[in-house]
Chain A
Amino acid sequence: MDAEDRQLVEAFRRGEESAFSALVIKYRDAVYRVARRMLGNHEDAADVTQEVFIRAYRALARFDGRSRLYTWLYRITVNLCLDWRTRLARLPLADGAPEPAPAPTSGAPEVEARETVRAVARAVAALPPRQRAMVVLRLYQDLPYQDIARIMGCSEGTVKATMFAALRRLRRLLVAEGVAP
């Protein structure tokens, strides 16, 4: 756990509520991004992000500091997203595909970029939940494999093997969508 997080957790244990607010401000964006990419829409991601911080608030005083705080928060996030998807049992990204990267000019390239983004979003959404979680944590959050293994509760080797399978599957899906050659 980094020094700043440790200080905030200790302050929270002393009863300083502002320490929790500081942690929320520090991590809310990362938590939301993981949830949004795993769930595929803003509304569910916003609800899950709320729930992550409520659970963190309840358990923060007991956080032992053996793992990093963000690893702990990501673990709560991933588990909630997996449960959320099971509960809702509905297809992600039906209406809320990520927006394309800003920049493209008007006309055909913009349409093409938007379509590529949608195709990739569909391909990511078609992955099994745990594969999708690993892809999100590695490719979007840039977490090291060691941290992903802690978050997912498995070995580093399993994460690498799963990532390999996920990338191959994504490749097939993107080729089928006509996005990759």
Chain B
Amino acid sequence: MRLGCREAMDLLVEAATGTVPPAVRASVVAHLVGCPACRREAAALEETASLVRAAGRFTVPPGFWPAFTDRLQARVALERLPVSARWARWLARPRHALAAAVLTAALGLAAATAGRLGFLGGAPSDPADAFDAQLRGLVTETMTATLPSLAETIDTWRAGLHAGPDAEGDAR
């Protein structure tokens, strides 16, 4: 196979980094024999590749792998824990606990503000309604039937709770 400069260039990288099959390499070499420009390029690429390869050696610090394995095993053990246990462990660190506390407080404050401003749906809640609902839960029908005066007292109380400033004014 006779290669042109462009085809040879495409194969030069592979040739320079040592991955072309012998037949292709032979074609590249045949081109290089007759092409000084490609020959210079090939020499430069090969030299660069071998310089980079030769300079890439390093050693791992002594004792690194045992320490690495211990740390990894500890992390893997953590991965095996159920989510609740992982949360508990995460929260056990003071820094994380503080962050969680701050976040909870911020969320609580945001929810309270949203509730007060009516962002959580519906009109702002009336404390009187809430108290009324609580009272209804506590006082059963049997109780009011047995103690008619209790029912009367509660009705009066409810009327008082729902009476606004206008009602107070009227009463005066």
Which residues does A use to contact B, with CB under 8 Å? 17, 20-21, 24, 28-29, 32, 36-37, 42, 46, 49-50, 53-54, 57-58, 98-102, 116-117, 120-121, 123-124, 135, 138-140, 144-145, 160, 163-164, 167-168, 170-171, 174, 179-180
B1-31, CB < 8 A from A: 9-10, 12-14, 16-17, 19
Main secondary structure of the interface of B (DSSP, over half): helix
Query: Once bound together, how far apart are the Cα atoms of A17 and B61, in whole Å?
Result: 27
Contact with A along B27-61 (1 / 0, CB 8 A): 00000000000000000110111011111111111
A20/B76 in contact, CB under 8 A = yes
Asked if B146 lies at the interface with its beta carbon under 8 angstroms from chain A, I say no
Query: Once bound together, how far apart are the Cα atoms of A160 and B68, in whole Å?
Result: 35
Interface size class of B (residues with CB under 8 A): 20 to 34
Main secondary structure of the interface of A (DSSP, over half): helix
B79/A50 in contact, CB under 8 A = no
A57/B48 in contact, CB under 8 A = no
Q: What distance in Å separates the Cβ of A4 from its nearest Cβ neighbour in chain B?
A: 20
B79/A54 in contact, CB under 8 A = yes
A-B contact pairs, 17 of them (CB 8 A): A21-B69, A36-B58, A42-B60, A42-B64, A46-B68, A49-B68, A50-B68, A50-B72, A98-B56, A98-B58, A100-B57, A123-B52, A135-B52, A139-B52, A140-B56, A160-B14, A164-B9
Give the most central of B55, B65, B73: most A CB within 10 Å: B55
Which residues does B use to contact A, with CB under 8 Å? 9-10, 12-14, 16-17, 19, 44-45, 47-49, 51-61, 64-65, 68-69, 71-73, 75-76, 79
A98/B55 in contact, CB under 8 A = yes
B10 — which chain A residues lie within 8 A by C-beta?
A: 160
Q: What distance in Å separates the Cβ of B145 from its nearest Cβ neighbour in chain A?
A: 63
Give the most central of B10, B51, B54, B64: most A CB within 10 Å: B51
Q: What distance in Å separates the Cβ of A75 from its nearest Cβ neighbour in chain B?
A: 19
A24/B69 in contact, CB under 8 A = yes
Across the interface, A99 reaches (CB within 8 A) one of B16, B54, B58, namely B58
Query: Once bound together, how far apart are the Cα atoms of A53 and B69, in whole Å?
Result: 11
Q: What distance in Å separates the Cβ of A165 from its nearest Cβ neighbour in chain B?
A: 9
Q: What distance in Å separates the Cβ of B39 from its nearest Cβ neighbour in chain A?
A: 15
